[in-house]
Chain A
């Protein structure tokens, strides 16, 4: 087991030894998942670098920050958030991201560390692309992200990493970010540093065209498949059906209804309730026939896998198709080649 080297963390722990021991004992009493060795390892590998970064900026803040990180770490351990098998990237958050946020952590240690830890947890739960999120977040922070913008940036990046249900709010936040940060969030700073905010936001209007390039004609393709049988960690008990209304897509089976959120960054299903939504204005910009031919205005494409579909519903940009013997929902859209 790696031992804690002499440094700001070891000094702070020594100074509050009795109190820290008492807190650990209490947490261990209340939760059987408190493991002393795992906690020690976390302190050495994850908390120490953060405290060192804090010490480099402000010695007076070391004890206060240590006090807070100690409690957060205990909470995480009690809730099994330090489990490498379940959340392998938690260590990266603490060793790569937090040290570069030392200034923000000095100002609000619990607010910053707990929030970002929760964000990571939510990404895992929603099957988001956790590694990508961490890498993008690190990149944006390194380009100079103001403390005030950290939360909206993290949110937009979470959307980019597969939490598609955040799209609407993320677009609002994009509108409020400064141009430089907006370019950084979409990774455009090198390739297209002259592109304006207006243009980026314009590009983002089409959910299936990433803002990376100027808009260009796309082709009809099956952009993703969501759902699945509940017994295999999917959402549906029996083959679902779909409906649309007012630019929203829904899927339902015998038990419940879900709303479909999908774009070029990913797709998610969110539980809507037991009842179906009221029927709204449906779009006919995308259609499918019984042979599996999908038409979008003058453009069409044949998808033999989708022949004999049981149900379909569409918004302006997305066609949702279900098959009678499948628990999945197939989304078809005019998407870019990449």
Chain B
């Protein structure tokens, strides 16, 4: 029976002979490599800085900050979606590496050395993450803790910036002779302002100079600050607090990051920390700490990331929706929300004069303002940083989609009375600004695709032609180009409505027409 079973047994192992495998050889290293690292130069071997940034991200999420969220979602295939409850709450399971904004955005801010506002209720780790960024910049925990500026109602300019040395004040015969003892934090590569909305208004102005222009001034003496990454914390993202945050200061914030809630399923992690008596700031590994030179180099590498022209065009199209405000003026150049704001009129009243346009379809109808140059530049920098973090050489569409909402969070002001938000499905967007802005971007891209601007963009073509230069362009050619502009404008004028995305295009055509007109006059004068 045993023999029969043996004959019936089919081998599960493949028995087809393969090509001869190389003879198994063993090297001395096989004995000496193992669980203990033998590499004496491990700390010296340079790793790419984007890889180091990623390592820092994963160390923080795995060991430092409990932020088990993936709200910055990437997909390399169709993701699965689930819908919960009566409100149709949607959950997506991303298919590509995704990230927690709470850790990612501060790191990107470190890479590009901008200004990051961390908002959230008390005890959510805002200061911890800022301190971690400080340690990653090469400072010790002691140095960082001493350098944090704590906003409080009695904070004076001297507390913030420094004091003149009393002895020099007494002996000086002119302001030049006064010596200032500048606060140490001014010279650091990381600047942390805790609870900035508790700083008195007067002191906020002094802070603004440092944040905006990178210098501090006292008694006619100027301290030039080095480039730094800023981290400000607040528990109110609308600019309220003990003192209202001055608009100019708020406008200097480049990116806003919300502290996400604590997931109670990770309570055991908290317990472990209590029992061990350890805090993550004390145990940051040296391998993810950046030197000053590395931070400089990383910023340069980020800025060298490419934004493809077709994506840049989409950003232009998106940004173009918001500034245009037809009821604000009669002269087209002045038809902006900024004109209305400067005139201090009631925005709702003026907005009600808008007629005929589809307020649900028009992204511009959802905001009270447009995008400033500063906001646009910040967008471009941060999308580059996102692509850099993901290890790619060019920015992708999803990089735009994921990062722009965080950058524009405080920059685009909602028009809460817009009919768009009256729709039941859009109520939550009044509160969830990230989703709102992402939605705006998606809406804009849909419109961009509907207009077929990737295939046919007359303004882009005309701009390209103009960029080639006017040297040697004949009178006939110039006239032809001017006619093209006029025909395009006529075609648009005959269409019914004037939307925001057309506004900048119309003004660009006017600009081109004027330039050609001046050139034509010069040609005629020359002749």
**Which residues of chain A have a CB within 8 Å of any CB of chain B?**
22, 25-26, 28-30, 72, 75-76, 79, 81, 108, 110-111, 114-119, 121-122, 151-152, 154-155, 158, 163, 165-166, 168-169, 173, 248, 252-257, 259, 270, 272-279, 324
CA distance A118 to B25 in the complex (A): 19
Does any Cβ of A come within 8 Å of B167's Cβ?
no
Q: List the 4 closest A-B pairs by CB distance, nearest first.
A: A118-B34, A26-B283, A115-B32, A114-B38
Q: Which residues of A contact B35 (CB under 8 A)?
A: 75-76, 79, 81, 118, 121
Q: Which residues of A contact B524 (CB under 8 A)?
A: none
**Residue contact B28 to A75, C-beta cutoff 8 Å:** no
Distance (Å) between the CB of B353 and the closest chain A CB?
62
**Residue contact A25 to B34, C-beta cutoff 8 Å:** no
**Residue contact B278 to A270, C-beta cutoff 8 Å:** no
Provide 23 A-B residue pairs closer than 8 Å at the C-beta atoms, listed in order of the A residue.
Answer: A29-B283, A75-B36, A75-B37, A79-B35, A81-B35, A110-B37, A110-B40, A114-B38, A117-B34, A118-B31, A119-B31, A121-B35, A154-B31, A155-B32, A166-B31, A168-B25, A169-B27, A253-B13, A272-B24, A275-B17, A275-B18, A278-B18, A278-B20
**Residue contact B33 to A22, C-beta cutoff 8 Å:** no
**Residue contact B26 to A169, C-beta cutoff 8 Å:** yes
Q: Which residues of A contact B278 (CB under 8 A)?
A: 25, 28-29
Partner of A276, one of B6, B17, B26, B32: B17
Beyond A117-B34, A324-B2, 6 additional contacts (C-beta under 8 Å) are A30-B63, A115-B38, A151-B28, A155-B31, A169-B28, A276-B13
Given A108-B40, A151-B28 in contact, is the A274-B14 Cβ separation under 8 Å?
yes
Interface size range of chain B in the complex: 35 or more
- The residue on B at minimum CB distance from A158 is B31
Distance (Å) between the CB of A224 and the closest chain B CB?
20
**Residue contact A279 to B17, C-beta cutoff 8 Å:** yes
Given A118-B33, A169-B27 in contact, is the A110-B276 Cβ separation under 8 Å?
no
**Residue contact A278 to B17, C-beta cutoff 8 Å:** yes
Contacts between the two chains (Cβ within 8 Å), count: 119
CA distance A22 to B140 in the complex (A): 12
The B395-422 residues at the A interface (CB cut-off 8 A) are: none
**Residue contact B36 to A79, C-beta cutoff 8 Å:** yes
CA distance A274 to B14 in the complex (A): 7
CA distance A118 to B24 in the complex (A): 21
CA distance A273 to B24 in the complex (A): 11
CA distance A114 to B38 in the complex (A): 5
Q: Chain B 42-65 against A: per-residue CB contact (8 Å), 1 yes, 0 no?
A: 000000000000000000000100
CA distance A163 to B6 in the complex (A): 34
Given A25-B283, A26-B283, A166-B26 in contact, is the A119-B17 Cβ separation under 8 Å?
no
Q: Which residues of B contact A111 (CB under 8 A)?
A: 38, 40
Does any Cβ of A come within 8 Å of B12's Cβ?
yes
- The residue on A at minimum CB distance from B40 is A110
- The residue on B at minimum CB distance from A76 is B36
**Residue contact A81 to B24, C-beta cutoff 8 Å:** no
CA distance A166 to B31 in the complex (A): 9
Q: Which residues of A contact B282 (CB under 8 A)?
A: 22, 25-26
CA distance A148 to B212 in the complex (A): 61
Q: Chain B 272-287 against A: per-residue CB contact (8 Å), 1 yes, 0 no?
A: 0000101010111100
Distance (Å) between the CB of A166 and the closest chain B CB?
5
Q: Which residues of B contact A272 (CB under 8 A)?
A: 21, 24
Q: Which residues of A contact B28 (CB under 8 A)?
A: 151-152, 155, 169, 173
**Residue contact B36 to A114, C-beta cutoff 8 Å:** yes
Given A81-B35, A165-B26 in contact, is the A256-B40 Cβ separation under 8 Å?
no
Q: Which residues of B contact A115 (CB under 8 A)?
A: 32, 38
Given A25-B282, A169-B27, A277-B21 in contact, is the A72-B14 Cβ separation under 8 Å?
no
Q: Which residues of B contact A253 (CB under 8 A)?
A: 13
Partner of B285, one of A26, A121, A158, A252: A26
CA distance A272 to B23 in the complex (A): 10
- The residue on B at minimum CB distance from A73 is B36
Q: Which residues of A contact B21 (CB under 8 A)?
A: 272-273, 277
Distance (Å) between the CB of B55 and the closest chain A CB?
14
Q: Which residues of A contact B24 (CB under 8 A)?
A: 165, 259, 270, 272
**Residue contact A118 to B32, C-beta cutoff 8 Å:** yes
Distance (Å) between the CB of B263 and the closest chain A CB?
20
**Residue contact A29 to B63, C-beta cutoff 8 Å:** yes
Distance (Å) between the CB of B92 and the closest chain A CB?
32
**Residue contact A29 to B34, C-beta cutoff 8 Å:** no
Given A165-B26, A169-B27 in contact, is the A72-B17 Cβ separation under 8 Å?
no
Q: Which residues of A contact B280 (CB under 8 A)?
A: 29
CA distance A163 to B32 in the complex (A): 13
Q: Which residues of B contact A75 (CB under 8 A)?
A: 35-37
- The residue on A at minimum CB distance from B277 is A25
Distance (Å) between the CB of B345 and the closest chain A CB?
58
Distance (Å) between the CB of B23 and the closest chain A CB?
8
CA distance A158 to B31 in the complex (A): 8
**Residue contact B17 to A277, C-beta cutoff 8 Å:** yes
- The residue on B at minimum CB distance from A68 is B40
Distance (Å) between the CB of A276 and the closest chain B CB?
6
Partner of B36, one of A29, A117, A256, A324: A117
CA distance A255 to B18 in the complex (A): 16
Distance (Å) between the CB of A70 and the closest chain B CB?
13
Q: Which residues of B contact A79 (CB under 8 A)?
A: 35-36
CA distance A275 to B19 in the complex (A): 10
**Residue contact B13 to A257, C-beta cutoff 8 Å:** yes
Does any Cβ of A come within 8 Å of B171's Cβ?
no
Does any Cβ of A come within 8 Å of B11's Cβ?
yes
Q: Which residues of B contact A275 (CB under 8 A)?
A: 13-14, 16-18
